[in-house]
Amino acid sequence: MATLLTNGSKHEKEASSTSTDILTLALDIVQNAASIKTLLASQHLPAPSFSPDSAELPDTPEHAALRSRLVAALDDLRLLVVGPRRTMRSLICFSNDLAAFQVAFEFGFFTIVPESEEGITLEEVARKAGIDAGRARQVLRMLCTHRVFKETKDGWFAHTASSVAFSRDENLRCAGHYGMDEMFKAASSTADTIKASPQKSDLAHSPFKTRLGASMFEYYEQNPEHAARFAKAMAVDRKTSTLGDLFPWNTLHGTVVDVGGGSGHISIALAHRFPHLTFLVQDGVPDMLAQGRRLLAVEDPAVACRIELLQHDFFQPQPPPERLTTRGPVAAFFLRHVFHNWNDDDAVTIARALVPALEAAAPETPLIISERVLPCLGDEVPLHEERAMRQMDMMMMVGLGAKERTLAEWKALFRAADERLEVKKVHGQAASGILEVVLRK
């Protein structure tokens, strides 16, 4: 197996290519599964299982590459063996599976079931959830088919690795609940929204507003409990390790202006990693800045002293650099997951509002934009990876009437804001991307 980890096998090298031969795909699966097992053993890591105490595969580049090749082959083999009609029949019925998840989140199944080998009786789950045992049984047994919970003996249910992940991680549980509550409801109104406004997609013409009667921002202002859940849901993927690795932050000197930075959690993480930089966090929502002040109050003073907070609406022109901070020159303007919340017209306005400050800054002071870059035809991104990005693209459309963008769409957006704005470089790729944009003078 050592050669699989160094040079790779013929099947492993070809795993990214499309094959319709089930034996070739099966051999790809065996080879990549063997490579993963060998790699885990060499690093003294346990193999994954369905047990609640199972560890997930690490997210190192080596593990991720092997996992991607294995999943690509698994997906294609399953589709070929099951066939298109059965596959599509299952897919279009998947709203029924999601209905079971919706009930489980709404009625607290994930925290009701204890972390014990024996588990809990159906009747006890129903009693604690406040619902009838019949429908609780229907929901639990549906979820068991996804290995979310398991029936240990007739009428007794216990955790699996998948269900216990929701039990142990409140942020992940909130992400599931938010997804199965307002977003699942909004998604069911997508076609109706497009029929009502076939040429318009924005906050006011989004499935979210169609279904829930308010735009996403208005809805969370009106429903603070749901807003708190949404904030926790968004905290699930707050990983800054990749962000710190993708861009050469060490080449910057001065203050990074974090535009639309919310509570500043990303700037705080970057400040820990890059002590030579200071950060100015801007956000237009006073509550987000108040949350930021609470975070800084309990932060390491050596980090907190390098972070400022400023209320600013990013639709309005950015103040000139000399008025932004007294802590040295502006090194960059940083926008993380800002543009994908807005349709093209609004996104152009946000980009245009940055131009006056870029004109007054040092030549080629960059806009550092952390966003997905959707693949185009021929980019050879594995379908399961592209599907994850397309899911986010659809989520933006459903929730905000907005979108993710290809590189060509990013370039067009910046040209529309100002012909001098140019994408200098894309750091990383696809789901983990940073666009470096400069104003050519």
pLDDT of 276 over the 80 cut = yes
**Do 426 and 438 contact (CB within 8 A), yes or no?**
no
CB 35 within 8 A of CB 4: yes
Residue 340 is among the residues annotated as catalytic for this protein: yes
Give the model's confidence band at 220: pLDDT under 50 very low, under 70 low, under 90 confident, else very high.
very high
CB atoms within 10 A of CB 237: 10
Instruction: Pick the catalytic residue from 272, 340, 384, 427.
Output: 340
Domain ranges in the chain are: 2-88, 93-168, 170-234, 241-439
pLDDT digits (tens, 9 = 90+) for 294-312: 999 999 999 999 999 999 9
What is the spatial distance between Cα 138 and Cα 101, in angstroms, rounded to a whole number? 11
Q: How many CA atoms lie within 13 A of 360 on its CB side?
A: 15
What is the pLDDT, as a whole number, of residue 124? 98
pLDDT category of residue 2 using cuts at 50, 70 and 90: very low
Is pLDDT at 356 greater than 70 in this prediction? yes
Q: Which CATH class is domain 93-168?
A: mainly alpha
Residue 14 has pLDDT above 80, yes or no: no
Architecture of domain 241-439: 3-Layer(aba) Sandwich (3.40)
Above 60 in pLDDT, residue 131?
Answer: yes
Stretch 10-18: mean pLDDT: 46
Cα–Cα distance list, 331 to 84, 253, 261, 364, 366 (Å): 53, 6, 16, 10, 8
Residue 238 has pLDDT above 80, yes or no: no
Distance CA 174, CA 234 (A): 9
Closest by CA position to 140, among listed 299, 126, 13, 431: 126
Tell me the pLDDT of the chain averaged across its residues: 92
Residue 108 has pLDDT above 50, yes or no: yes
